[in-house]
Amino acid sequence: MIKLGIIGGTGYTGVELMRLLALHPVARVEVITSRSEAGKPVAELFPNLRGLVDLVFVEPAIDTYRDCDLVFFATPNTTAMSQAEALLAAGIKVIDLAADFRIKDIPTWEQWYGATHACPALVEDAVYGLPEMNRAAIGKARLVANPGCYPTSVILALLPLLANDLIDPASIIADCKSGSSGAGRKASLGTAFGEVTESVKAYAVDGHRHLPEIREVLRSLNADADLVFTPHLMPMVRGIHATVYATASGPADRVQTVYEDYYRDEPFVDVMPAGSHPETRSVRGANVCRIAVHYLPAANRYVVLSVEDNLVKGAAGQAIQNMNLMFGLDETTGLEAPGIMP
């Protein structure tokens, strides 16, 4: 049995990790921490876990995780980087669901996150946890940087096009929509029900922290890659819908086959039939990115539609997929449940 710890278990990604891991056949959460809720039973805060999780929140401390094989950081940015070295030195593997190890260029990370990186030497060792790109490296990793939710949807939308040189890599536009849970569980006016419902708004148009993450990954595939990325807040709790545009270069008559072939053996990427329009509700609760590709002859552009649950394939589910790979398991283990409808 793989023994797990979750640091920061009171947010949406923390409870989603517990929900998904509660029925995992070969992994068990042994420790879950929270400074604010220490001493409180997990099921008291999250009643959906009654009868499944009998743990109590405890104060975070290195000794707390000594018996763990792997620790998930479901914490705000800049938390994992202050503790990862000690955990790794103790032989404990780490998956960070925040952004501390996602961007390899330290000055870029420090510019966007407004902090001095506490352990830049570990950044080079960290593996970017997108299995569809880095499966072999993840299997050998001791430190995995779980991708952001927006980056997962955008990068998966673009991989077949970039890999086959089918687009002008500098022409990419990513128009993305997210549910309010992407902002986290902490109360704020901007994500209150009365502010979000019956309304749609763009935000961070002049620069979102996921932009340099997406750009760096795309440039690892094509040095000329660049994009405009605009996120929007939608009146829903879960889900991301990315509409990705790029100018075509080369014949477009086989693009559907290109996508189907590229993702044929990927258990958590579903390429829909030609002409489809995937919906966020179809992936709610599932570790799936559902994709449809369209070509507009008059504009000579591809339009790729990509949907995922931001808390599952965009966060906790993908983290468990990475954990499975790190321990030599079938990566689908514990993640086979379909989406919830309606």
Asked if 31 and 7 touch (Cβ cutoff 8 Å), the reply is no
Output the CA angle 288-292-298, nearest 5 degrees.
Answer: 160
Asked if 131 and 263 touch (Cβ cutoff 8 Å), the reply is no
- 3-class DSSP state of 318: helix
Output the CA angle 105-111-112, nearest 5 degrees.
Answer: 95
Q: Encode 119-188 in three state secondary structure.
A: CHHHHHHCEECCHHHHHHHHHHCCEEECCCHHHHHHHHHHHHHHHCCCECCCCEEEEEEECHHHHCCCCC
Q: Which of 68, 119, 149, 176 is catalytic?
A: 149
Smallest Cα–Cα separation from 7: which of 92, 75, 89? 75
CA dist 142 and 88 (Å) reads 7
Output the six-digit token pair for 33.
């921490």
The answer, yes or no, to whether the previous bond of 342 is cis (omega within 30 of 0) is yes
Q: Would you call 68 a catalytic residue per the annotation?
A: no
Active site positions, annotated: 149
